[in-house]
């Protein structure tokens, strides 16, 4: 069964500990939202889970669908069903969006089972249509010259085409205008299923007008300090984070 279990995770960047014993479990069928002020380690969490070499896991355990995630190489994590949409997707000159997508899909398949070109093109075209993307984006170099919103939409395109079992979206809503936000949210909602889990990292409550989470977590100083339902996000929108700091006696 689908699950991402994070237990007492500690991770450091350039020798500085950022994640300080973070625990969180996402099961298939669930949408979890992690919110928190800037600089609390939300993106670090996403990068550590994806296996970014700069983020050193020093303690704790993570399993994906029962398997030790931290033991896996980056490409193995993707093959095991993990998908990460990054806050700042990188540009790759010389690789077109469609080349990249086809390699990514084939990397998840057994040798000899590669997707046929025709099938791939149809799949990409229809997914792009759903996301209201201009067909020219098939042939553009990956993320090169894409606007912030176009990059985000392209991340969602990748998510739709790769059919992951566990999806991590890091600030997929930042830099989106209201129409793009709605389209991105529809992409997520269309992929909601009992055998897929979502960990959605966001700074803003507005995404939750379109995506209804099952659980909301507040992250501060490298750990989850409070969990609840959608009402928690509403309270954050209305009152900010100060009341949580007061509740927990955090001074900074």
Answer with the entry of Mg ion, ligand ADP, none that 213 interacts with (C-beta below 5 to 8 A by kind): none
Stretch that binds ligand ADP, among 41-49, 74-82, 121-129, 157-165 (CB under 6 A): 41-49
Q: Output 56 or 144, the one with its CB closest to ligand ADP.
A: 56
Which among 145, 101, 148, 94 is positioned nearest to 121, based on CA atoms?
101
Residues 120-149 that bind Mg ion (CB under 5 A): none
- Gap between the Cα atoms of 32 and 211, Å rounded: 10
- What per-residue string of b and e applies to 234-244 under the rule 16 or more CB within 10 Å gives b? ebbeeeebeeb
Report the DSSP pairing between strands 82-85 and 92-96.
unpaired
Q: How far is the CB of 9 from ligand ADP (least distance, A)?
A: 13
Q: How far is the CB of 148 from ligand ADP (least distance, A)?
A: 16
Residue keyed to tokens 């969990």 = 227
43 makes contact with Mg ion (CB under 5 A): yes
Q: How many residues at the interface with ligand ADP, by CB under 6 A?
A: 12
116 makes contact with Mg ion (CB under 5 A): no
- Exposed/middle/buried for residue 249 (C-beta within 10 Å: 0-12, 13-18, 19+): exposed
202 makes contact with Mg ion (CB under 5 A): no
Tokens matching residue 83: 């998908």
38 makes contact with Mg ion (CB under 5 A): yes
Answer with the entry of Mg ion, ligand ADP, none that 97 interacts with (C-beta below 5 to 8 A by kind): none
109 makes contact with ligand ADP (CB under 6 A): no
Among 13, 70, 95, 224, the residue binding ligand ADP under the rule CB under 6 A is: 13
Q: How far is the CB of 210 from ligand ADP (least distance, A)?
A: 21
Q: How many residues at the interface with Mg ion, by CB under 5 A?
A: 4
**Residue 29: left (phi > 0), alpha (psi -120 to 50), or beta?**
left
- Strand positions, DSSP E, 36-105: 55-64, 67-68, 82-85, 92-96
Q: Enumerate residues 6+ apart whose C-beta is below 8 A from 81.
A: 2, 64, 65, 164, 165, 166
CB 187 within 8 A of CB 218: no
Residues 165-184 that bind ligand ADP (CB under 6 A): none
Tokens matching residue 130: 């759903």
CB 188 within 8 A of CB 211: yes
Compose the 15-34 pattern: x for residues touching ligand ADP by CB under 6 A, - for all others. Answer: ---x----------------
41 makes contact with ligand ADP (CB under 6 A): yes
- Residue numbers of the site for ligand ADP (CB under 6 A)? 13-14, 18, 36, 38-44, 54
């Amino acid at each position: 069964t689908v699950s991402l279990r994070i237990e007492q995770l500690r991770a450091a960047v350039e020798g500085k500990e950022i994640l300080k014993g973070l625990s969180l479990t996402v099961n298939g069928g669930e949408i979890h939202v992690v919110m928190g002020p800037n600089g609390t380690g939300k993106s670090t969490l996403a990068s550590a889970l994806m296996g970014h070499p700069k983020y050193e896991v020093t303690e704790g355990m993570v399993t994906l669908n029962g398997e030790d995630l931290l033991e896996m190489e980056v490409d193995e994590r993707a093959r095991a069903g993990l998908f990460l949409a990054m806050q700042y997707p990188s540009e790759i000159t010389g690789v077109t969006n469609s080349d990249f997508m086809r390699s990514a899909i084939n990397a998840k398949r057994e040798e000899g089972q590669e997707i046929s070109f025709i099938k791939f093109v149809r799949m990409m075209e229809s997914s792009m249509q759903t996301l209201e993307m201009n067909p020219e984006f098939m042939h553009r170099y990956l993320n090169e010259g894409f606007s912030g919103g176009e990059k985000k939409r392209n991340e969602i395109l990748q998510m739709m085409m790769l059919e992951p079992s566990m999806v991590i979206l890091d600030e997929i809503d930042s830099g989106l205008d209201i129409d793009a936000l709605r389209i991105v949210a529809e992409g997520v909602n269309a992929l909601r299923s009992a055998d897929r889990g979502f960990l959605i990292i966001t700074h803003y409550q507005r995404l939750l007008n379109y995506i209804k989470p099952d659980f909301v977590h507040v992250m501060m100083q490298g750990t989850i300090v409070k969990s609840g339902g959608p009402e928690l996000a509403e309270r954050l929108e209305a009152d900010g984070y100060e009341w949580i700091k007061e509740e927990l006696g955090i001074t900074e």
